[in-house]
Structure 1
Amino acid sequence: MAKAPKLVRGALWILPLALVPVAFVAAIPWLRTISHPMAILVAAALVIFGMSYANYLSFRAQRGLDEVQKAGGAFAGQWGAPAGQAAFGLLLVLPPFRDFAVAVVSKFPVRPGMTVDGSVVVVSLAFGLCGIVLLQAIGTVVVHTIWWRVKR
């Protein structure tokens, strides 16, 4: 019975990471009405908040670890981030992923009849950054799991 409050508390800590992208997608119609530099600043602020909050949660989770667990995290951080970067590079080679990326980016700021402009490039770079960070996190978790399996 004690696990439920801990699980709810963990979900509440992670909730802002889910709400920020939802808020950004919900604000796209409003972002189209304001000036271009202001929209870029709003997008940059959301990205910085998301990354900073994720780092805060990571540091918070590591406070109660012993030295062996911290060594596992250091090993995972050392090898997981490059693994995530390599995974992103390999995904770019696959035509289904490229088609998916083009479909996602083409839906946002381009109106019918418009050519691709700087906002499309900025949005695609932001999505690329999010993709790399996500794959780095997944790579870190996978490498950490492998480290624990081999250690046992």
Structure 2
Amino acid sequence: MKRKAPYQPSLLRILHGITALLVPLAWLSGVAVFAKHDGRGVNWPTLPGDWIDIHGTVGVLLWPVALLFTLYALSAGRGRLRQPGNTAALIGLALAVVSGKLMQEDWLRTGQLDHFLYHVHLLAWLLISGAVFWHVAAVLQRGGWPLASSMLKLKVRANDGPGRWLDPWRR
């Protein structure tokens, strides 16, 4: 029996979509930063370029989106946090963004690799790595491709436009 794609709120789709674009960019640029400035335990090739600045720019873009997404998840989307994959991904995102915001970018450039916040940031990087796979696997297991593709739908119901986005907080 073919499953029908559920409707996802438009604000969730927008915030989730932007996050889903920026997190892999932050993760990949973080790999390049780690390879160039840290590399403990691995021997990865380094890419030319100032990856700390690129990674920081992606982080600056991700910061307000992550804040809005977290506020949405803790209020209107709190029912979805019963899924452990969703919760783990949100915790990883929050840890990564907050620790990244509090770090000094010169730490890595000058070889200062033992700051607590840098270790929290690395832990968040690992958590996001696992949590995103867990999140996607759980979505596919729960609802298959119809549930996964429902986040990509462009159709917006009449009662789900920007004028209604604040309704959950007004109640």
Q: Normalising by structure 2, what TM-score?
A: 0.30
More helix by share: 1
Q: Normalising by structure 1, what TM-score?
A: 0.33
